[in-house]
Structure formats: C-alpha cells, structure tokens
Amino acid sequence: QVQLAESGGGSVQAGGSLRLSCLASAVNLRNCMGWFRQAPGKEREWVGSIGSDGSTSYADSVKGLFTIPRDNAKNLLYLQLNSLKPEDTGMYYCAADPGLVPRVAGTECFRYLVVWGQGTLVTVFS
C-alpha cells in the first residue's frame, strides 16, 4: 500500500524559505509525483509536479520560487519554498501516481496523482 508522509512545515517570516519532505513507501519515487496546497477557507490547488523523466511543471503562482527536487536513493520528495509570502500559508500535501507507467510532468501527470499524504502546515507571517 502506497504511503506518503510529509514533514518540514512550520512558521516562517515572509521572505524566508522552507524545505518540505515527503517520505514515500511502496511507490517508485521515479513515478510521477507532485505537491498540492490548501489555504484556509480555500480549495486545494496544485503547486507542481515532477515526472518520471525528471521534468517539472509548476503553477504560475510559484514558478521561479518553488522547486521539487527528489532523492531516489532515500525515497524522499522535496518541495523547496523560497521567498515565501503570507498567501503561501496553508496545508501542503504530497501526492503520487501509484501506477507503473512512466509519465512526464504536466497534465498527464496531474491526472494520476491520486494517493495523498496527511499534509504539513506552513504558516508565513509578515
């Protein structure tokens, strides 16, 4: 059974950085994976994805600010958050495609991100 466990959330001042981690079990980290977030009172939104080939795709709101590195040997996916703003506050969720088909980042990957972690809270204060 695929399991994802996020960590690394916390409180940070605007302009600061955080690195979130997602420990993946029973899934090949080279699968398509991604991050989503949900701000208080808002719907969950996609943040970015990384494809089987290492390609990445990001939401316009975080492009150039957030990146998704991964460590295949440790089965860890990361979300590096830079230049944080108060509007980046929310729960951040790791998601994975549990299948066996390689996929590139983007729409194709997004459709198959169906396994979720419990989330980790990021609070950005001004």
pLDDT (average), residues 1-15? 96
Read out DSSP for 3-48? Answer: EEEEE--EEEETT--EEEEEEEESS-TTS-EEEEEE-TTS--EEEE
CB 90 within 8 A of CB 39: yes
Q: Does 108 score more than 90 pLDDT? A: no
Q: How far apart are CA 124 and CA 66, in angstroms?
A: 15
Mean pLDDT of the chain: 95
The predicted pLDDT at position 28 comes to 83
pLDDT (average), residues 111-126? 96
The predicted pLDDT at position 123 comes to 98
The predicted pLDDT at position 85 comes to 97
Q: Does 35 score more than 90 pLDDT? A: yes
Q: How far apart are CA 117 and CA 21, in angstroms?
A: 11
- For β-strands 10-13 and 120-125, DSSP reports them as parallel
User: What would the pLDDT profile of 66-105 be if each residue is shown by its tens digit?
Assistant: 999 999 899 999 999 999 999 999 999 999 999 988 888 8
